[in-house]
């Protein structure tokens, strides 16, 4: 069976991901699925494309399909540069890409949830921004990983993908899981809410469904605060999407149901100050 | 706190500082070697102190070897958790 992707447009791509995730739920016996990317070029792929695609492949891998990539430029990029095979055939949670501007897929697992943000920060400092204080980048990634693991019930089907554009200094991150979805998760507490309103509720400061005792509804706000001073943060979940900037949040219905949650944002790394000396001793107020 | 997850480290910090707040001593937290202060660390430590003892309890804290970025984040966190 062929699964064709022929557009970069976010909503259409995610609609395809959603539709393909529904095609067959019962386990297959190594039936072959060929992912096709005719008329697409790898340089146009954003983190949302790669992270959501990884979740779809993981989904089919668990159903015991044999997943193949076509030999188009995108198929070869995923296989050769991003080394997709090593994740599913080799059970790796991370491999170094053959492209310095991508930090490649990170399979979000409980054991490594605190390492990813630290790794990304050190990678960026080693390759691009030796003197920058990039702890905000580390914080947002760590919060996103915990958020996924604490609330999604994705049973390990969760990936992040990060790409850095040297010219614009933009770091793009997408975190995707095929779990219950933020909207459904919020509706477990407020069943009367629509998915759009559930996403708005999720992003309220101090709102939490208390999946873990240490949750207090600050995580999404910390991510939003650290990424939206000049760019947007986007959450796509179930039948709604939300766009947040530093002034407001807007949510809208989706025409399809995304099977989990996709969080994406860009950060302009040039805005951060250089690493500075620590203050000897200060009080909070 | 090394070798602990952020939530465990936060809980351990709470267990250390909470009894001190019953005395007349002030508390100095040294952040040397600390990169980030994520919510899952702050919630079971500073956040729990504020919930149980109020915002004024923070006046007994000072922070050593803290970056301006960490200080700003910590102030924002306390403001929001108290809102």
Residues on chain B touching A206 (C-beta within 8 angstroms): 80-81, 83
Which is nearest to A196 in space by CA: A182, A216, A178, A211? A182
pLDDT tens, position by position, A209-253: 888 989 989 999 889 988 877 788 999 999 999 999 888 999 999
Please report whether residue A277 resides in a domain. Answer: no
Average pLDDT of chain A, as a whole number: 92
Nearest to A108 by CA among A269, A262, A265, A266: A262
Q: How many domains does chain A have?
A: 1
Give me the pLDDT at residue B1, please. Answer: 67
Looking at chain A, how many residues does it have? 285
CATH number at residue A154: 3.30.565.10
- Worst-scoring range by mean pLDDT, A120-124, A191-195, A222-226? A222-226
Residue-level pLDDT at A19: 96
Residue B19 covered by a domain: yes
**Bridge pairing between strands B27-30 and B61-66:** parallel
**How sure is the predictor about A256, in pLDDT bands with cuts at 50, 70 and 90?**
very high
pLDDT value of position A100? 86
Residue among A142, A219, A279 whose CB faces B68 most closely = A279
| Å between A121 CA and nearest CA of chain B | 10
**Nearest-CB residue to B77 (from A118, A215, A218):** A218
Contact assignment for A218 to B42 by CB distance below 8 Å: yes
Q: What is the 3-state secondary structure (H, E, C) of A231-250?
A: CCEEEEEEEEEEEECCCCEE
B45 neighbors B11 (Cβ within 8 angstroms): yes
Q: Is residue A167 situated within a structural domain?
A: yes
pLDDT at B40: 96
**Residues of chain B predicted below pLDDT 50:** none
Q: Alpha-carbon distance A56 to A24, whole Å?
A: 12
Whether the CB of B19 is below 8 Å from some CB of chain A: the reply is no
Minimal CA separation from A157 to chain B, in Å = 22
Residues in A closer than 8 angstroms to B10, CB to CB, are 214
Structural domain range at position B61: 6-81
Overall average pLDDT of the A175-195 stretch: 96
**Cα A169–chain centre separation:** 19
Residue A57 covered by a domain? yes
Cα distance from A223 to chain B (closest Cα, Å)? 10
The count of structural domains within chain B is 1
Q: What share of chain A is helix, strand, coil (3-state, %, to 5)?
A: 35, 25, 35
Nearest by CB to A281, which of B28, B38, B83?
B28
- Distance in Å, alpha carbon of B60 to nearest chain A alpha carbon: 8
**Range A244-269 average pLDDT:** 94
With beta carbons under 8 A apart, name residues in chain B contacting A141: none
pLDDT value for A172: 94
Asked if A278 lies within 8 A of B31 by C-beta distance, the reply is: yes
Supply the ipTM of this predicted assembly.
0.94
Least confident of A10-24, A179-193, A211-225, A239-253: A211-225
What is the C-alpha to C-alpha distance for residues A139 and A136, in angstroms, rounded to an integer? 5
What is the pTM (predicted TM-score) of this model?
Answer: 0.94
Interface of A with B in 186-215 (CB under 8 A): 205-206, 212-215
pLDDT digits (tens, 9 = 90+) for A44-103: 999 999 999 999 999 999 998 999 999 999 999 999 999 999 999 888 999 999 888 898
Is A207 domain-assigned? yes
Does residue B54 contact residue A223 with C-beta atoms inside 8 Å?
A: no
Contact B7 A114 (CB under 8 A): no
- What are the C-alpha distances in Å from B72 to residues A103, A266, B6, B39, B56? 28, 21, 20, 14, 18
Distance from CA of B19 to the nearest CA of A (A): 20
Give alpha helix (H) positions in chain A. 10-22, 47-62, 73-76, 84-88, 115-127, 135-151, 182-187, 195-202, 219-227
- Whole-number pLDDT of residue A184: 96
Range of the domain at A93: 2-269
SS3 A2: strand
Q: Is there a domain that residue A195 lies in?
A: yes
User: Is A285 among the domain residues?
Assistant: no
Q: Is residue A258 part of a domain?
A: yes
CA dihedral A39, A45, A51, A55 (to 10 degrees): 0
Query: Using CA atoms, how far apart are residues A228 and A244, in angstroms rounded to an integer?
Result: 7
pLDDT at residue A3 tops 70: yes
Q: How far is CA A3 from CA A46, A53, A68, A276, in A?
A: 19, 11, 10, 50
Q: How confident is the model at residue A193 (pLDDT cuts 50, 70, 90)?
A: very high
pLDDT tens figures, A138-178: 999 999 999 999 999 999 999 999 999 999 999 999 999 99
Please give the full DSSP string across A102-159, using - where no structure is assigned: EEEEEE--GGGTTHHHHHHHHHHHHHT-TTB--HHHHHHHHHHHHHHHHH---TT-EE
In a domain, residue B15? The reply is yes
Structural domain includes residue B1: no
Q: Which of B7, B64, B67 sits opposite A214 (nearest CB)?
A: B7
Is B74's CB within 8 Å of A284's CB? yes
What does the pLDDT average to over A124-133? 90
pLDDT above 90 (res A30):
no
- Comparing alpha-carbon positions, the chain A residue that sits nearest to B67 is A278
């Amino acid at each position: 069976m062929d699964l064709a992707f022929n557009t970069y447009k976010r909503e259409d791509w995610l609609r395809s991901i959603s539709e393909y995730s529904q095609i067959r739920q019962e386990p297959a016996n190594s039936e072959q699925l060929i992912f096709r990317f005719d008329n697409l070029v790898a340089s146009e792929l954003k983190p949302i494309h790669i992270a959501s695609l990884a979740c779809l492949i993981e989904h089919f891998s668990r159903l015991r399909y044999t997943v193949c990539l076509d030999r188009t430029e995108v198929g070869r990029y995923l296989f050769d540069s991003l080394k997709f095979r090593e994740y599913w055939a080799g059970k790796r949670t991370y491999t170094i890409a053959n492209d310095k501007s991508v930090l490649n897929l990170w399979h979000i697992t409980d054991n490594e949830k605190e390492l990813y943000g630290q790794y990304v920060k050190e990678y960026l400092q080693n390759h691009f921004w030796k003197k920058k204080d990039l702890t905000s980048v580390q914080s947002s990634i760590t919060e996103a990983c915990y958020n996924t693991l604490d609330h999604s019930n994705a049973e390990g089907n969760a990936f992040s993908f990060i790409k850095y554009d040297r010219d614009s200094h933009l770091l793009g991150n997408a975190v995707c899981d095929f779990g219950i979805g933020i909207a459904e998760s919020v509706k477990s507490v407020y069943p009367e809410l629509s998915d759009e309103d559930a996403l708005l509720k999720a992003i309220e400061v101090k709102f939490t469904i208390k999946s873990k005792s240490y949750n207090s509804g600050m995580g999404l706000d910390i991510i939003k605060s650290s990424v939206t001073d000049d760019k947007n943060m986007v959450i796509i979940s179930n039948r709604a999407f939300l766009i947040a900037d530093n002034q407001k949040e807007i949510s809208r219905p989706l025409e399809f149901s995304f099977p989990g949650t996709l969080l994406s944002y860009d950060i302009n790394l040039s805005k951060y100050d250089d690493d500075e000396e620590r203050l000897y001793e200060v009080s909070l107020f | 706190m090394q070798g602990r997850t952020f939530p465990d480290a936060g809980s351990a910090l709470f267990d250390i500082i909470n009894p001190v707040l019953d005395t007349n001593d002030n508390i100095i937290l040294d952040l040397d070697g600390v990169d980030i202060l994520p919510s899952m660390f702050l919630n079971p430590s500073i956040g729990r102190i504020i919930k149980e003892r109020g915002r004024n309890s923070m006046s007994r804290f000072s922070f050593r070897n803290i970056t301006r970025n960490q200080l700003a984040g910590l102030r924002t966190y306390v403001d929001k958790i108290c809102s």
